[in-house]
Structure 1
Amino acid sequence: MNNIQKKLVKPSAATHQDRRGRLISFICVSFIMILTVAIIGFIAIHGLATFTDNHISVWDFLTKSDWNPGQMGPNGKPEVGALAMIVASFAVTLLAALFATPFAVAVAVYMTELAPKKGARMLQPVIELLVGIPSVVYGFVGLVVIVPAIRTVFGGTGFGVLAGSIVLFVMILPTITSLTIDSLKQVPGYYRNASLALGATRWQTIYKVILRAALPGIMTAVVFGMARAFGEALAVQMVIGNAAIVPTSLTSPTSTLTSQLTSQMGDTIMGTLPNNALWSLALVLLLMSVIFNVLVKLIGRRGELK
């Protein structure tokens, strides 16, 4: 009996594998959490140095548009105003989302409701191709095609918010489209059947039932697309003009947070005010990423289909 009891108490090989799997998963999760906290802490420490070490006002940083951290302004203080980059970042992001959302919803409706098999066969490769194109290619196409076209039609240099918005529109279109397709597919089939049984037409069912039921998922897709547009750097830098001034029109050159970072980070010395100011821009980007993630969570919780 003692031998039998020992065999029953002794863990099996499957139990050992389960424990090893749990330990490996715990180590991986812990590493990711530590890495995330380290990145946030590193950016926060360097980003806040502008205000703690160099005594720059947070209010002036967010509300003034004069950007020249390497020189003193007329008031004897460094010109560290990020308003121009913040306004430009929101402008190109909102315009890109405004352009992309109708196209994304139309493509998603066609692929899921009007011609599911034919639409997927025709459009899925196109969406996958757009996702796989590098950012520098989008920027180069925008530089040689979109910028000259805007210059011809509207005048000016062609660089500006409009060019950046068009480039970002193409870049975030696959993201919004893919997530919208998933949202439409999650709408229960009995919603469609009930609507058609009550005498609604196909378009009435799509517009008044399916799209409304999938609206939280569509909004989540738009927020994800905006998050990608807000953080895009290289493609926007190539077509926006890189002038740290508040845009007065869609065709006036300006600069976003990301384009300012990529164009100036290599020309500054670690620990100096110009370098700390750029880290402050990175901190603003990080905070915006957190806000976008919180919005996604809130929309997802309110829009769960029961």
Structure 2
Amino acid sequence: MSHRSEGSIIVNNRISADRTSEVGERTSAIDRKLLTYNKRQFTENVTGRFIAMACAGVLVVVVLSITYFIASKGLSTFLVNGVSLGEFLIGVKWDPEGEPAVYGVLPFILGSSLVTLLAALIAAPLGIGAAIFMTEMFPGFGKKVLKPVIELLVGIPSVVYGYVGLTLLVPFIREQFDVLGFSLLAGGLVLALMILPTITSVAMDAIEAVPQDLRNASLALGATRWQTIWNVVLHSALPGCLTAVVLGMARAFGEALAVQMVIGNTTRLPGGLLDPISTLTSAITLNMGNTIQGTPYNNALWSMALLLLLMSFVFIMVLRILGRRKMVTK
């Protein structure tokens, strides 16, 4: 080996050693910087954690306070005024100012349940069908045109829906069927229009979440487009579609003003779709301002509000169950 090659090897070794030492110094400097106690970062982390925990605690306190307040008022009907729970829930006569006073809320419970169920039966097929159209049939036109139009319906106040139903739907039912017009059917149609955007939007998200590979595999096996949508896409998105329907029903069950304007607000049990009814929300809003705080009449209305709160908890539990089922399916 020549002296020149030996010298180049020595120079290269020195250069590599210098580079190694520089890299080691940089790494150690970075390690020291990362391991050095940073008081500012620690303060920010503690502050952020405290603010997040405080916000969560405030939400929990507010929910518990509302629940306690409504429960304390609603239970006074049974604990203070001595009204029987069975009479209250299954009684068909509502006459809180009579002698003796009668507090039967079954017509209101049945009215809220029937109008919610009718609205869901009308809006669910339409909403899920519109979601399929906008995601599977014509996604470009659906997302650019139809989806913004449907989302605009969410921002319309409920009083507008009620007024449209009062001026158009009620006279139409009156002329077509020779009845009063204020009916369960009118309330169900108005509520169906109100919850349609909610069902459509949530169902669209559920259908879009289905992997494209499932569609491709179904088509590759010889299935038609509709068979793929019906047997693969809808089957995979079923928990999300059910969640959409339950969300719509939750909104419909608690709606007051729009329904109150078109259902007739009678305390009798409905005999059909064309009969006037009353709901829990309409009874509370119509009568709460005419009662004295602490009277049996006022406490009975709070008991009806407690029923609405309990139904909200039921809807939330159903949504949680459907959400877990959706996660398991994935």
Into which bin does the TM-score normalised by the smaller protein fall? over 0.9
Shift in Å, 1:139: 0.5
Q: State which of 51, 65, 71 in structure 1 corresponds to 2:92.
A: 65
Shift in Å, 1:112: 0.8
Q: State which of 301, 306, 312 in structure 2 corresponds to 1:289.
A: 312
Partner of 1:170: 193
- 1:263-274 matches, within 5 Å, as 263-274=286-297
Unaligned runs of 5+ in 1: none
Partner of 1:27: 54
Aligned partners of 1:168 and 1:229 also within 8 Å: yes
Q: What are the superposed Cα offsets for residues 108-154 of structure 1, whole Å, 9 maximum, x if unpaired?
A: 00111111111111211211210000010001001001100111111
Q: Which amino acid aligns with 2:47?
A: R
Q: Which amino acid aligns with 2:209?
A: Q
Q: State which of 283, 307, 312 in structure 2 corresponds to 1:260.
A: 283
Q: Which amino acid aligns with 1:70?
A: E
Shift in Å, 1:185: 0.9
Shift in Å, 1:8: 5.8
Shift in Å, 1:13: 2.1
Q: State which of 103, 106, 114 in structure 1 corresponds to 2:129.
A: 106
Give the whole-Å Cα distance in 1 for the aligned partners of 2:38 and 2:290: 60
Give the whole-Å Cα distance in 2 for the aligned partners of 1:191 and 1:8: 48
Q: State which of 148, 172, 189 in structure 2 corresponds to 1:125.
A: 148
Partner of 2:178: 155
Partner of 2:115: 92
Give the whole-Å Cα distance in 2 for the aligned partners of 1:72 and 1:31: 45
Give the whole-Å Cα distance in 1 for the aligned partners of 2:221 and 2:35: 62
TM-score (norm 1): 0.94
Q: State which of 78, 84, 88 in structure 2 corresponds to 1:51.
A: 78
Give secondary structure in 2 for the equivalent of 1:282: helix
Provide closer, same or farther for how the CA distance between residues 116 and 12 of structure 1 changes in structure 2, counting only shifts above 3 A.
farther
Q: Which amino acid aligns with 2:180?
A: T
Shift in Å, 1:9: 5.5
Give secondary structure in 2 for the equivalent of 1:252: coil
Correspondence 1:276 to 2:299: yes
Q: State which of 175, 191, 209 in structure 2 corresponds to 1:186.
A: 209
Partner of 1:145: 168
Give the whole-Å Cα distance in 2 for the aligned partners of 1:297 and 1:31: 22
Give the whole-Å Cα distance in 1 for the aligned partners of 2:238 and 2:204: 12
Give secondary structure in 2 for the equivalent of 1:65: coil
Give secondary structure in 2 for the equivalent of 1:72: coil
Give secondary structure in 1 for the equivalent of 2:121: helix
Coordinate RMSD, CA, aligned = 1.5
Give the whole-Å Cα distance in 1 for the aligned partners of 2:82 and 2:298: 15
Unaligned runs of 5+ in 2: 1-31
Aligned partners of 1:176 and 1:222 also within 8 Å: yes
Q: State which of 50, 57, 67 in structure 2 corresponds to 1:40.
A: 67
Q: Which amino acid aligns with 2:49?
A: R
Partner of 1:298: 321
Give the whole-Å Cα distance in 2 for the aligned partners of 1:9 and 1:125: 52
Figure out how many residues of one structure are paired with residues of the other and give that number: 298
Shift in Å, 1:71: 1.7
Give the whole-Å Cα distance in 2 for the aligned partners of 1:194 and 1:35: 49
**Structure with greater Cα Rg:** 2
Shift in Å, 1:15: 2.7
Q: State which of 238, 243, 248 in structure 2 corresponds to 1:215.
A: 238
TM-score (norm 2): 0.88
Partner of 2:21: none
Shift in Å, 1:228: 0.3
Residue range with higher mean Cα deviation, 165-174 or 125-134 = 125-134
Partner of 1:135: 158
Give secondary structure in 2 for the equivalent of 1:55: coil
Aligned partners of 1:68 and 1:80 also within 8 Å: yes
Q: Which amino acid aligns with 1:27?
A: A
Q: Which amino acid aligns with 2:52?
A: S
